[in-house]
Amino acid sequence: MKIPNTFKIEKTEHILLLIAGKQEASFHEIFDGKIDYLSTCKVEKPHYSDNEGHFKVRSGGKVIRSGSVRELDDSIVINDFLKKLKDHIKKNINVDDYESVYFTVPSHMENIIVESLSVKLKNKIQHQIDGNFFKHKPLDVLKKFSTLNKKESSSKVPFIKEEARKILKKSRQARKVIKGDPKNN
């Protein structure tokens, strides 16, 4: 699929677009003014055929709470997805072919997914946008990166948010005071 000229994406750069969701990820190649679909990695949630273990607590003729002993813990699905993602990248994506990686990820999954990526892939991440854009069209996602490129001239988006950076700075200052560093008194 051809990328419109209005997008500010480097045409000579070989880019891997990784669009990650909670339990799925798609990979697209961007090169020479085109975006091509490569592959998808997805983990399905297990579905149970019965409601065995379902309970309701009633009081005064009204349901106070209800639930199921069999409700699935999200961590199981996330761990399965991370394992499958690692395998998928290892088998289907040659990281050496790409100069940079554009990456979208839901903000609550950011640290988990980034930590599971290989060092080669992590080092090539040039831009990252928080959000679950898995169900969006790849061109729409690329448009978000295009506007990011117009706004920022820096080559890398920091992984640490500004709030976290301030907290870390104060923590370092506090450690110096506790240790008795004469420069910080």
Residue 64 resides in a domain = no
29/94 same-domain check: yes
Residue 172 resides in a domain = yes
Residue 56 resides in a domain = no
Handedness of CA 166, 170, 175, 179 (dihedral sign): positive
162/107 same-domain check: no
pLDDT band at 154 (very low <50, low <70, confident <90, very high): very low
Dihedral angle over CA of 154, 159, 163, 165, nearest 10: -80
Residue 50: its pLDDT value, please?
Answer: 55
Query: In the structure encoding, which two tokens stand for residue 132, read together?
Result: 């679950």
pLDDT > 70 fraction of the chain, expressed in percent and rounded: 74
Residue 166 CB neighbours (<10 A): 11
Residue 85 resides in a domain = yes
116/181 same-domain check: no
148/163 same-domain check: no
Residue 61 resides in a domain = no
Provide the H-helix boundaries in the chain.
74-92, 110-116, 119-123, 138-151, 162-179
Residue 57 resides in a domain = no
147/175 same-domain check: no
Determine the number of helices (DSSP H) and then strands (DSSP E) in the chain. 5, 7
81/172 same-domain check: no
Residue 52 resides in a domain = no
pLDDT digits (tens, 9 = 90+) for 159-174: 566 787 788 888 888 8
Instruction: Give the angle subtended at the CA of 138 by the CAs of 75 and 109, to the nearest 5°.
Output: 20
Q: CATH number of the domain at 16, please.
A: 3.30.420.60
41/92 same-domain check: yes
Residue 91: exposure state from Cβ atoms within 10 A (0-12, 13-18, ≥19)? exposed
120/82 same-domain check: yes
23/97 same-domain check: yes
124/175 same-domain check: no
103/42 same-domain check: yes
Q: Are 20 and 103 in contact (CB under 8 A)?
A: yes
pLDDT digits (tens, 9 = 90+) for 78-115: 888 889 999 999 999 888 888 888 889 888 888 888 88
110/173 same-domain check: no
> Which domain range does residue 169 map to?
158-185
Residue 128 resides in a domain = yes
With a cut of 50, say whether residue 156 has pLDDT above it: no
Indicate the number of domains in the chain: 2
